[in-house]
Amino acid sequence: MTARYDWTINQGETTTLVYSRSRDGGSAGDAAFPQNSTFRMKAKTKHGGTEVLSLTVNSIDDVHTNSDEFESNTASATATDRETFTVKVSAAKSALIDAPGKYVYDIENVTSDGLIVERVLEGTLIVTPEVTT
């Protein structure tokens, strides 16, 4: 089952979301993020609507690359039976969202061959307007 999180960000500000889940291996939803997979996020005006934000990063081996968009500590999760990834929206990217308001988003993990797609997180993205520019 996909986790749900309603996220509020400030337009023109760097913001970070940290997501952590258990890794018991008991179900597909709790399995480890696959090696050489990709995290991708889209935010749209509504389901099937206009895209306002897009983030993607490819992983390398067990540890997902550190980038300005996603970071994962999958390798170190083995010791804690948890895996965590961080989504970072840069100030420049959040400023590009033209209109403050309410949007929908989801984050997926996709294997390199594209055969497995797991929606990890979904919800509402609320963008509050920037005053100082």
Contacts of 133 (CB under 8 A, 6+ apart): 12
Q: Over the range 64-99, which residues count as b (16 or more CB within 10 Å of their CB) and which as e?
A: beeeebbbbbbeebeeeeebebbbbbeeebbeebee
Q: Read off the pLDDT of residues 90-117 as tens digits, 9 standing for 90 and up.
A: 898 999 898 999 999 999 988 888 888 9
How confident is the model at residue 31, as a pLDDT?
59
How confident is the model at residue 79, as a pLDDT?
44
Q: Read off the pLDDT of residues 30-59 as tens digits, 9 standing for 90 and up.
A: 557 777 778 889 999 999 999 999 988 764
How confident is the model at residue 100, as a pLDDT?
94
Please give the share of the chain, as a percent, with pLDDT higher than 70.
74
Cα distances (angstroms) measured from residue 127 to each of 4, 17, 94, 115: 17, 14, 8, 33
pLDDT surpasses 80 at 73: no
CA distance 79 to 88: 25
Where do the domains of the chain lie?
3-24+35-128
Lowest-confidence pick of 35-44, 71-80, 117-126: 71-80
Instruction: Pull the structure tokens for residue 85.
Output: 């990834």
Tell me which architecture the domain covering 3-24+35-128 has in CATH. Answer: Sandwich (2.60)
pLDDT surpasses 80 at 89: yes
CA distance 123 to 104: 6
Note the pTM of the prediction, 2 decimals. 0.77
Q: Are 58 and 42 in contact (CB under 8 A)?
A: no
What pLDDT band is residue 20 in, cutting at 50, 70 and 90?
confident
Instruction: Pull the structure tokens for residue 93.
Output: 């990217």
How confident is the model at residue 71, as a pLDDT?
52
